[in-house]
Amino acid sequence: MAKAQKPVSEVHDAGAIKVLEGLDPVRRRRAMYIGNTDDRSGLHNLVYNVVDNAIDEALASPASTVTVTLNPDGSCTVRDNGRGMPTDIREEGVLSGGLHAVGVSVVNALSTSLKLTIWRDGQEHFMEFADGDAVAPLKVRCDAGGKRGTEVTFLPSPKTFRMVEFDFATLEHQLRQLPFLNSGVTIVLSDMRHAVEKREEMRYERGVEALK
């Protein structure tokens, strides 16, 4: 799960995106992409795939915060305040999907629903998927109001996962490694599934040097 810092290309447009063509291969060989779907390991890997995108934004832009929220309806929302996922169209006519488009495509393929909100170039863009298929094309909803970044909300499919309830402690344990390897980035994990919010904020200014 933990990932070391790496150089990220300054080019942030559709041309830098690799797109996974078709969702059926993911569904047929889902264990190859996200691991075991009978326990929670594969389920939690969906979260990590989306978080990886947000961390890349933190490394490539002035982004400083990544929030992971467990929602009352069983869905998970991952949001960053980075540059915003590219919204232009590739030459092949496929909507671009971030530096880890394959990861997001996998999450979409294995989710009952996925909602994507992008704040970029002064506009708020929105797109929704149901069982991996687009409900409608990407559209501009309104002015960004000064916001920037990307928000992905997905609901894991019970057709794929035997267990669809996220475990807070497991997510916290894995996500806590990221600020050590990505100094200055704040990771906020919030559980809204109960009457009282459970929240953990993780940040280490000196990264791995803080362990010395």
**Of the ranges 21-25, 149-153, 179-183, which one carries the lowest mean pLDDT score?**
21-25
Residue 153 — very low, low, confident or very high, per pLDDT cuts 50/70/90? very high
In degrees and rounded to multiples of 5, residue 110 shows phi and psi of -105, 20
Mention every residue, 6+ apart, whose C-beta is less than 8 A from residue 31.
37, 42
Tokens 């389920």 correspond to 43
Q: What is the pLDDT of residue 104?
A: 84
The terminus-to-terminus CA distance of the chain in angstroms comes to 22
CA distance 124 to 144: 5
Nearest to 75 by CA among 109, 113, 49, 106: 113
For residue 201, the surrounding DSSP H or E stretch is: strand 198-202
What domains, with CATH codes, occur in the chain?
18-211 (3.30.565.10)
Quick one: pLDDT band at residue 4, thresholds 50, 70, 90? low
Residue 137: the pLDDT is: 87
What's the pLDDT tens digit per position in 32-52? 667 677 788 889 999 999 998
Mean predicted confidence (pLDDT) in 109-136: 92
- CA 108/CA 116 separation, integer angstroms: 10
Q: Examine the pLDDT at 97 and tell me if it is beyond 70.
A: no
Note the pLDDT tens digit of each residue in 12-30.
555 444 444 566 666 666 6
Map residue 4 onto helix, strand or coil.
coil
Which of the residue ranges 6-20, 33-47, 57-71, 198-212 would you say has the lowest mean pLDDT? 6-20
- Token pair in block for residue 45: 């890997």
Report yes or no: 103 and 120 within 8 Å, Cβ to Cβ.
no
Nearest to 87 by CA among 127, 142, 132, 136: 127
Exposed e or buried b per residue across 69-101, where buried means at least 16 C-beta atoms within 10 angstroms of its C-beta? bbeeeebbbbbbbbbbbbbeebeeeebbbbbbb
Q: Is the pTM higher than 0.85?
A: no
Comparing C-alpha atoms, which of 35, 34, 10 is closest to residue 20?
A: 34
In degrees, rounded to 5, the angle at the alpha carbon of residue 16 between the alpha carbons of residues 11 and 17 is 140
